[in-house]
């Protein structure tokens, strides 16, 4: 595995629509592994192929659901690898939340997103998958899928600002 360079604005690849993944070969699986390593090292909760300079419909997301107040320990993180992701269902209900992005360093913003979504796509072996996401996980998927269409969260944000502390930036990420 190898850690990849994360591209940042104003790199043109972040503004382009991506190409469908058609080959789920050894090279593709290596890319998935490299993207997961890069996301974890950043650290981030999601990463889209354009963020590492590749125009492919591929995202990786790793997230632990919020724990209930009664639970002692945090839920384990779950890794999602989705090629050719597509949001096929969105809740009417939306909410504003703070977002940050590895490709837009040192900024955070308020973005309105759907509270629940259903995503269909393919796993790293090319098999069809379907993911129901709600809350923060739904927000992460919407953010990463936007990258595949050349959309940055700053395009959608009601308000963008530079965080005053590292803690504020970490909370948004």
Whether pTM > 0.85 for this model: the answer is yes
- 65 catalytic residue (yes or no): no
- Burial label for 145, CB within 10 Å (0-12, 13-18, 19+), is buried
Q: Which of 144, 158, 166, 168 is catalytic?
A: 144
Domain 12-172 in this protein, CATH class: alpha beta
pLDDT at 143 over 60: yes
Give pLDDT tens digits for 95-105.
Answer: 999 999 999 99
- pLDDT bin (cut points 50, 70, 90) of residue 91 is very high
């Amino acid at each position: 595995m190898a850690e990849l360079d994360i591209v940042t604005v104003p790199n043109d690849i972040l503004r382009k629509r991506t190409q469908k993944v058609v080959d789920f070969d050894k090279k593709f699986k290596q890319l998935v592994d490299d993207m997961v390593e890069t996301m974890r090292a950043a650290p981030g909760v999601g990463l889209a192929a354009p963020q590492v300079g590749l125009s492919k419909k591929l995202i990786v997301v790793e997230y632990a659901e919020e724990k209930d107040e009664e639970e002692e320990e945090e839920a384990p993180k779950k890794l999602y690898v989705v090629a050719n992701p597509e949001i096929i269902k969105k809740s009417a209900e939306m909410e504003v939340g703070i977002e940050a992005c590895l490709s837009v360093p040192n900024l955070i913003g308020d973005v309105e997103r759907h509270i629940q979504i259903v995503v269909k796509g393919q796993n790293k072996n090319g098999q069809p998958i379907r993911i129901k996401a709600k809350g923060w996980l739904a927000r992460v998927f919407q953010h990463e899928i936007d990258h595949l269409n050349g959309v940055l969260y700053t395009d959608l944000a009601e308000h963008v600002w530079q965080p005053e502390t590292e803690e504020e930036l970490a909370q948004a990420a």
